[in-house]
Amino acid sequence: MSHCRFAGFVLLLLSPLGLAQIQNESTPSEPLNAAPTNQPALEATSRPAPTENAISPATEAMADTGLDSNAHKLPSVRELLERMSQRQKNLNYQGTFTYQNNTGTESFQLQHWVEGDTENQRLYYLNGPEREAIMRHTTQCQTLAEQLIAGKLDGLADNFTSLDRLYSFSVRGLERVAGRMATVLQVIPRDSFRFGYFFSVDRETGLLLKTLLVDDNQRVVEQFQFVELQTDLAPSDFVAERDATITHRVDADKLSGCNKPLAVAPSQWQLNWLPAGFAFSGQRIVQTDTQMLMYTDGLSTFSIFLDPVEGQLVIEGRAQRGATNFYMQGLTRAGQTYQVTVVGEIPLAVAEKMAQFISRVDATSEQPRG
């Protein structure tokens, strides 16, 4: 499994912890004013493309590597994207990494190996209660979640032309991560609807060794980084399982189907306002009757959950876990109340605005964009 898909797997495990931060707001901040669909209240703020000499706090941190980039041939942006897009499903590796956000730092051990036609992944928590998560599926299978997560990095090279309208890409130089040489790719959004990234890509394997996700002030809000990594291992190196106190085993093939095609349009609910560049990418039913809508611009993603509630108070609040923002509010349609939750790697103001423009598919066919 490539690191982009793995990172998504990690965040799926971690994100529920962020819900504990949601606080009901006795005095909520003033929401974005609802606007007619042809005049969205939240306007895009364009950003000039960065100059080569522009230094931000995040750029300065990444640039302080002590390495002479002139002594090493740096790839072009497209070459690096193609390198990142090469699938790493047959690569066996293990390592230790840290995941850091506004709530603190957590450490994990990761093992990934392929045996026959089965891809295996084991994630072991190094902090807190002893836990591990094990996921297995056939190498030919790609679950719904993986189709979305894989597109985040695996499709960068193919989608570079369209993404270049939304982000500015530049190769910043070299750095050492986990004792390995890595090429640093900086990705800066051209508007205020999405976040920016730094990707440190292993020069030997193309694996993602480090990711910084930065806000519109170039402050790091989330960081993933390997501190130790071994590659070129044999499947026999992974046979021993830990005797963890809590073990979660996931058969990904059975969990959400294998290579299940994504819907081309929402069937029941839709957004009547979308930030420029984002498009509907799939839907599913979770927990029996909760509708889940998924959207992406090819790099950033967000989801909207609509959960029908009966005789219960809806939660209105907001929370943040690293770069993932949560916005929750109630919605009543045709006498039915729904708990609406917007979750994704988008600014909170964008999530709040979109929650105001949810409607039934048969209510309107128009989708204004920012």
- The tens digit of pLDDT for each residue in 233-254 reads 988 888 656 665 666 665 554 5
The answer to the question of residue 67 being in a domain is yes
Number of domains in the chain: 2
Q: Are residues 107 and 185 in the same domain?
A: yes
The two tokens of residue 314 are 């809806």
What is the percent of the chain where pLDDT is above 70?
64
- Buried b vs exposed e over 66-75: b needs ≥16 C-beta within 10 Å? eeebeeeebe
Q: Are residues 300 and 344 in the same domain?
A: yes
Domain region containing 343: 269-360
The answer to the question of residue 169 being in a domain is yes
The answer to the question of residue 297 being in a domain is yes
The two tokens of residue 203 are 């020069």
The answer to the question of residue 119 being in a domain is yes
The answer to the question of residue 34 being in a domain is no
Calpha distance 27→357 (Å, rounded): 23
Q: How do residues 288-340 score in pLDDT, each as one tens digit?
A: 889 999 998 988 889 999 999 887 788 899 998 888 899 999 998 888 899 99
Q: Are residues 200 and 93 in the same domain?
A: yes
pLDDT of residue 13: 41
The answer to the question of residue 290 being in a domain is yes
Q: What's 71's DSSP letter? A: G
Specify the 3-state DSSP secondary structure of 43: coil
- Give yes or no for a contact between 370 and 43, defined as CB atoms under 8 angstroms apart: yes
The two tokens of residue 305 are 């959950």
- Buried b vs exposed e over 29-48: b needs ≥16 C-beta within 10 Å? eeeeeebeeeebbbebeeee
Q: Are residues 327 and 189 in the same domain?
A: no
Which H or E run includes 57?
helix 57-63
> Which of 256, 277, 302 lies at the terminal end of a domain, its last residue?
256
Q: Are residues 224 and 283 in the same domain?
A: no
Q: Are residues 287 and 187 in the same domain?
A: no
Calpha distance 270→365 (Å, rounded): 9
Which one has a higher pLDDT value, 87 or 335? 335
The answer to the question of residue 32 being in a domain is no
The answer to the question of residue 40 being in a domain is no
Q: Are residues 130 and 236 in the same domain?
A: yes
> Which of 202, 235, 256 lies at the terminal end of a domain, its last residue?
256
| Span of 8-12, 330-334, 337-341, 360-364 with lowest mean pLDDT | 8-12
Q: What's 232's DSSP letter? A: S
Q: Are residues 162 and 276 in the same domain?
A: no
Calpha distance 48→217 (Å, rounded): 14
Q: Are residues 207 and 323 in the same domain?
A: no
pLDDT of residue 181: 96
What is the percent of the chain where pLDDT is above 90?
32
Q: CATH number of the domain that 348 lies in?
A: 3.30.200.100
**pLDDT over threshold 60, residue 67:** no
**pLDDT over threshold 50, residue 8:** no
pLDDT of residue 286: 82
Q: CATH number of the domain that 58 lies in?
A: 2.50.20.10
Q: Are residues 229 and 332 in the same domain?
A: no
pLDDT of residue 138: 73
Q: Are residues 183 and 56 in the same domain?
A: yes
Q: Are residues 207 and 324 in the same domain?
A: no
